[in-house]
Amino acid sequence: MTKINVILGSVREPSMGNRLFTYLKNNRLELEAENGIQLTFIKVGDYQLKPYNQPIPPLATPEYPNNLPENAKQWVNDVSDADGVLILAPEYDYSIPGALKTALDYLKGMDGKPVQVISYSMGKVGGLLGMMALLPVFQVLNMITLNHNLQLANIQKVFAEDGNFIPELAESEQVYYRNRIAQIIKNISHYSELLK
C-alpha cells in the first residue's frame, strides 16, 4: 500500500499547525479509504534534532545514516520509509522554521520521492514565502515537488485546537477547505503511487 508521511514542521507548543495536523488525523480513515493509502503522522519536534554538526554532509557520508545519532537515524529512516511526503510548514520571518530546516539537513537524496506542501500562517499570505524557501531544499534532496500546493491564511480563523473547523467559519468556507485539503491528499497519493 502507498505510504504518505504527513510531517508537521513546527516544534512550537502549542502550534497553529498542530490544528491542521489534528484535522488530518481526525479524518485519516476517510482520506485513506478514498485514496487507497496509509497516512503516517510525524512531528519534527518528536526527534529532538540538534543542528546538523557531523564532520561531513550527508551527501558525502559513506556510512549514512548509520553514523548519525540514534534520534537522527530514526528521523531519516522514518521519512525515507514513505512513498511520498506531505509537509505542513509554517512561515517564520518570511522563511521556514529553523527546526524544519535542521530536520531536512539530515536527509540525503530522496530518490525522486514526491513532496507536497501545505504552508500556513496567521496572516493573509498563508506562508507563501516559507513554502517558496523549501523549493531549493527539495531540489537538492532530489525530491519531486508537486504543484497545486495550498497556502492556508489566517489558520487561527479556520481550525480550532481540536482539529475541527471553528464554529464561526461559514459552511461554504468549511466545504472549500475540506475540498482543497482532500485534493492535496489525492494529488500526493496519485504521484506517490505512480512514482514508487
Determine the pLDDT at residue 125.
85
pLDDT tens per residue, range 59-88: 777 788 888 899 999 999 999 999 999 999
pLDDT tens per residue, range 185-195: 999 999 999 99
Question: Are the CB atoms for 163 and 134 separated by under 8 Å?
Answer: no
Determine the pLDDT at residue 64.
84
Task: Please tell me whether the peptide bond between 136 and the residue prior to it is cis, using omega within 30 degrees of 0.
Answer: no
Mean pLDDT of the chain: 94
Determine the pLDDT at residue 65.
86
Whether residue 92 has pLDDT greater than 80: yes
Question: Are the CB atoms for 91 and 124 separated by under 8 Å?
Answer: no
Q: Which fold has domain 2-195?
A: Rossmann fold (3.40.50)
The torsion of the CA quartet 169, 170, 174, 177, rounded to 10 degrees, works out to -80
71 alpha-carbon distance from chain centroid: 19
Amino acid at 101: K
Determine the pLDDT at residue 61.
77
pLDDT tens per residue, range 27-43: 999 999 999 999 999 99
Question: Are the CB atoms for 127 and 100 separated by under 8 Å?
Answer: no
Does residue 15 or residue 26 have the better pLDDT?
A: 26
> And the C-alpha cell for 173?
468556507
- Mean of pLDDT values over 136-154: 93
Q: For residues 8 and 63, give the distance between their C-alpha atoms in angstroms, rounded to a whole number.
A: 28
Q: Where are the domains of the chain?
A: 2-195
Amino acid at 66: N
Does residue 34 or residue 92 have the better pLDDT?
A: 34
